[in-house]
Amino acid sequence: MGAPASPTLLFTDIDEPGLTTRAVYERRGGYESLRRALAMDPADVLAELEASGLRGRGGAGFSMGKKVSFLPKGSMDKYLVCNADESEPGTFKDRELMQKTPHMLIEGIVIASFAAGANRSFIYIRGEYVLQADALDAALAEARAAGYVGEDILGSGHSLSLVVHRGAGAYICGEETGLLDSLEGKRGNPRLKPPFPANQGLYQGPTLINNVETLSTVPAIIRLGGEEYAKLGVETSTGTKLVSVSGHVQRPGNYEIELGIPSREIIYGLAGGPPEGRSIKCWFPGGSSSPVLTEEDLDVPYDFDSLGKAGSMLGSGAIIVVDDRTPIMNVAMKTAKFYRHESCGKCTPCREGTNWTVKMLERIDGGEATPMDLEIMASVQEHIIGNCLCVLGDAMAMPIGSMIAKFRDEFEAHIERARLERGLGGAAASGVALAAQGALEEHPDGRLAPIGAGDQAPGAHRGEPGTHKGGA
Ligand SMILES: Cc1cc2nc3c(=O)[nH]c(=O)nc-3n(C[C@H](O)[C@H](O)[C@H](O)COP(=O)(O)O)c2cc1C
Ligand code: SF4
């Protein structure tokens, strides 16, 4: 399958030499959108953002224009925070934007601050992104010198301070309220919501927080006009999206696509599909916290709602492909260990649930598990989803739950094989023994499960997985 032609807004000439400098960026029309926006009324700039239909590119997919409109009116200190933590495994698109076209992000921040009436702004960037932070610092110095940032920007009366803040590197500092605590100099722990940052965010002030890609899209919206931008993509997922493709594909990398194209065109057309002779076992459509899909789902349109309907989510736009030679146990173990390590420990379902899950996977791998452990593990995931302070707990439970639901046979075979290797007798035999003791009951499909466990898929009683990710 050949690579489809996609319109590009963010990646146009992204590899042009010198694009990190103001001179080259301006030669390509950079900062023209800022000039146009500053000549408008802030309410009209906001109207363009709303008309564009732009949804947040950091994970939750909340309407950007709506979020700007939630900030209270009136003169007070208001903040704009750019989330450049990029901590979701598999995601590396913001890094390319900041490294190669930092002025685009700065321009987007200044325009968004004008629409929101914010006068202080920060870019919170993960500490490991040294190259990108250096590129931003250099671009910021140039932008200040040219009067694009600072007092009375281009004589418009709008003023904005902008600081690049380097974080120490923790997954939870990508969660917006954990990020705000970290920015205030505290340990990055999520806050209870409400209040939402729009009302009470940084230093208790009204705060607009958006992802790097979201803010970098703003100059293109002003250039095209909101309505024209909304013609790209599909009705509820407008515009283009940067997708990071990694794992078992021949051409991993970042691709800009028009939202709504079939996922197959990204995985096979752009990224070349799995290596010769292999097939796809499963794929994460939106970073490691999204429920996995399989080969059967390759024709699902790549947009927010279609992926939600397919039982997963677009998340941060990071596709991770897993081929048929990879044991699902390995995928589950890696995923669970990551979230156990990154849990901040503030709430019990996440702190204990991530730890239990790793321990149960280790029991399976070590030949100590019975089929009942698989049921218990699925039930632990169900009890995490929707019961945590932030969605880091769900971020582990959703993919693990989907792996158990979709690859039960492979997990059961793993249990059986590992038990036989330890000389403990087959798992099926132990399942029959447990059923005889009354601990398991047989379901209509022949499956043995703990008494009263029912036959729900993990999370089924709380709606589709992914519908409550993130916090706008
Ligand atoms: C555990 C966790 C980690 C997150 N990490 C990131 C991140 O690294 N970058 C990001 O932009 N959003 C991240 N988010 C989403 C943010 O909380 C927030 O929704 C986002 O920054 C809002 O920007 P947007 O509306 O432009 O997407 C994370 C959310 C959670 C729950
Ligand atoms: S869900 Fe996990 S990361 Fe989030 S607050 Fe609770 S313990 Fe911390």
Report pLDDT digits (tens) over 347-372: 999 999 999 999 999 999 999 998 88
Residue 413 has pLDDT above 90, yes or no: yes
The runs of H, that is alpha helices, within 171-249 are: 176-183, 212-224, 226-230
The better pLDDT of the pair 6, 134 is held by 134
Cis amide prior to 72 (ω within 30 degrees):
no
Q: Is residue 362 within 8 Å of residue 340, measured between CB atoms?
A: no
- In testing the pocket of ligand 2, which one of 176, 342, 347 has its CB within 8 Å of the most ligand atoms? 347
Residue 470 has pLDDT above 50, yes or no: no
> Distance (Å, rounded) from C-alpha 164 to C-alpha 170?
17
Q: Is residue 312 within 8 Å of residue 292, measured between CB atoms?
A: yes
**pLDDT-derived band of residue 64, with 50, 70 and 90 as boundaries?**
very high
Q: Quick check: CB of 396 below 6 Å from ligand 2? A: no
Closest Cα to atom 18, ligand 1: which residue? 176
Q: What is the mean pLDDT of residues 167-182?
A: 94
Q: How much is the pLDDT for 278?
A: 97
Q: Which residues contact 159 (CB under 8 A, 6 or more apart)?
A: 119, 150, 151, 152, 153
Closest Cα to atom 2, ligand 1: which residue? 175
> Distance (Å, rounded) from C-alpha 59 to C-alpha 36?
30
Q: Quick check: CB of 65 below 6 Å from ligand 2? A: no
Assign domain 234-323 one CATH number from 3.30.70.380, 3.40.50.720, 3.10.20.600, 3.30.1490.20: 3.10.20.600
Phi, psi values for residue 48, rounded to 5°: -65, -40
CA of 65 to the centre of ligand 1 (A): 17
Q: Quick check: CB of 392 below 6 Å from ligand 2? A: yes
Q: Which residues contact 456 (CB under 8 A, 6 or more apart)?
A: 382
Q: What is the mean pLDDT of residues 17-33?
A: 97
> Distance (Å, rounded) from C-alpha 263 to C-alpha 302?
5
Rg (CA), the chain: 24
Residue 461 has pLDDT above 70, yes or no: no
Q: How much is the pLDDT for 455?
A: 46
For 249-276, what is each residue's pLDDT tens digit? 999 999 999 999 999 999 999 999 999 9
Segments making up each domain of the chain, as ranges: 22-231, 234-323, 328-462
**Strand partners for 238:** 233
Assign domain 328-462 one CATH number from 3.40.50.2300, 1.10.3720.10, 1.10.10.60, 1.20.1440.230: 1.20.1440.230
Q: Check residue 441 and report its DSSP letter.
A: E
Q: How much is the pLDDT for 450?
A: 55
Q: Which ligand is nearest the CA of 83, by number? A: 1
Q: What percent of the chain has pLDDT over 70?
A: 89
The DSSP code sequence of 121-146 is: EEEEE-TT-HHHHHHHHHHHHHHHHT
- In testing the pocket of ligand 1, which one of 63, 88, 351 has its CB within 8 Å of the most ligand atoms? 88
Structure tokens that stand for 386 in this block: 């929707």
Q: How much is the pLDDT for 466?
A: 34
**Strand partners for 257:** 241
Amino acid at residue number 66: K
Ligand 1 atom, smallest distance to 60 CA: 19
The DSSP code sequence of 371-437 is: HHHHHHHHHHHHHHTT-SSSTHHHHHHHHHHHHHHHSHHHHHHHHHHHHHHHTS--HHHHHHHHHHT
CA of 434 to the centre of ligand 2 (A): 35
∠ Cα 60 63 68 (to 5°): 115
- Going from the C-alpha of 222 to that of each of 39, 263, 339, 373, the distances in angstroms are 12, 29, 39, 55
CA of 187 to the centre of ligand 2 (A): 13
Q: What is the CATH number of domain 22-231?
A: 3.40.50.11540
The DSSP code sequence of 28-51 is: TTTTHHHHHHHTS-HHHHHHHHHH
Q: Sheet holding 280-284: strands in order across?
A: 253-258, 240-247, 318-323, 280-284
Amino acid at residue number 147: G
Q: How much is the pLDDT for 74?
A: 86
SS3 364: helix
Closest Cα to atom 22, ligand 1: which residue? 210
Amino acid at residue number 126: R
For 184-223, what is each residue's pLDDT tens digit? 999 999 999 999 999 999 999 999 999 999 999 999 999 9
Residue with tokens 């997708």: 243
Q: How much is the pLDDT for 425?
A: 73
Q: Which ligand is nearest the CA of 67, by number? A: 1
> Distance (Å, rounded) from C-alpha 124 to C-alpha 181?
11
Ligand 2 atom, smallest distance to 390 CA: 4
